[in-house]
Chains A and B, each alone.
Chain A
């Protein structure tokens, strides 16, 4: 069992409240996942040609200043960062491949959690309330956010096993369930040049969507393919730079509830996680249908 939650703002004037709206949702799912928790938040977008990278080092005293200085000297571009607990969000004035490549090669002691123009992934072992407080989630701003609370069943409670996983730029998914064909898919993705970092089945699903979107699929098209190729029980909440989506497998064993108002779309494993939202009593609340794609895109909404 795990808990997943997502919140996508339709009303941009609420963006400074995203973290404070979302923190109680994540904490409400403690019963479904007390072992570790994490979230991917989208906002504070960097310009084209620049990259945002979330890095983590287990040592809270890690010298991020020196790492930023080294990166700036080596890459000869502007490098700034914001420390947040044992993570740091770097903004590097170069493309994602060059920036990620630098840290992978020259700073193997830090783990790379996400790369893109908008995404930041923060996660840790412990209770959701502790993780929310450590990262000061309530003060965070952005356009949308997805989160996961983990009850470990198949592998150990470690930071490496904590969700969410990101395998491509600005792409992230959170997952409740299990995939039965992840091993074969991992092999196929490796054949296409996508190496997964862990043995986790959720990472394979994220890698699959990355591969499909690199092939030119839109978010919805990639999810249509996923419904054909992913085998297992799953409810997924997916974030991209401008989009948010929810799908369930055709059997729909894993729970999900959606709520929509003029201001937001919220998703959770259980209704309990939605009760703290403003105006929830007037929201349209429904259970997503099996094998059906629900998605919201910021661009299409504005255009």
Chain B
């Protein structure tokens, strides 16, 4: 296992070492310490690495992730796993705003709460938040799934496209064009699988499903160029 202390190495050096594994894959396990809330830790990975980060991280941690499994043993700043393509990012503490923003694939697990705009404009990833999410989560979210085991803040799913949202707790308010929908067997199966992948004991039947009423955007083929 490789251990990198960020009091002795720059984030740029760390990321370069992790990126080098794309061409020469010989070190699957990495341990990162002394993070001190620095930004851009473990960004742009593209290999089946297991990266364990001890401490709080700043903005965009594990952004653009592909294939790697990144665990943050602490809190994460804005935009954790933003634009993730595949792999897994697991935050053991809380995450700030825009967690999983624009992410196309992979799984983001937050053990604590997130700030505002969790999953904003997400395009296909799965996000499981064991605590609460802040206001305007899933704003303009296009595909993928957000699971919230706690409560959701104001304007959940505002201007939503085709992301599916499951919330167990209270929803302070739904955003424009976001509505509650029936929890069918198919959805229960999907939710059960997601909760299992995030290692939670939550009962899927306790959740409600929310999705787009499809009144704000148009599927008509006539509108395609």
Contact = CB atoms under 8 A, between A and B. Distances in A.
A270 interface: yes
B115 A275 contact: no
A109 interface: no
Contacts of B56: 271, 285
Contacts, number: 36
Given A252-B97, A290-B116, A275 B75 contact: no
Given A251-B116, A270-B37, 17 more contacts: A252-B97, A252-B115, A255-B77, A270-B59, A270-B77, A271-B56, A271-B58, A271-B75, A271-B77, A272-B36, A272-B38, A275-B36, A275-B37, A286-B94, A287-B97, A287-B115, A290-B134
A236 to B, nearest CB: 17
B75 A285 contact: yes
A255 B79 CA distance: 12
Nearest to A280: B56
Contacts of A287: 94, 96-97, 115
A37 B96 CA distance: 26
Contacts of B97: 252, 287
Contacts of A289: 134
Interface string A237-278: 000000000000001100100000000000000111011000
Nearest to B36: A275
Interface in B55-78: 56, 58-59, 75, 77-78
A252 B116 contact: yes
A275 B38 CA distance: 10
B96 A255 contact: yes
B37 A271 contact: yes
Nearest to B135: A290
B37 A255 contact: no
A274 B74 CA distance: 14
A167 to B, nearest CB: 30
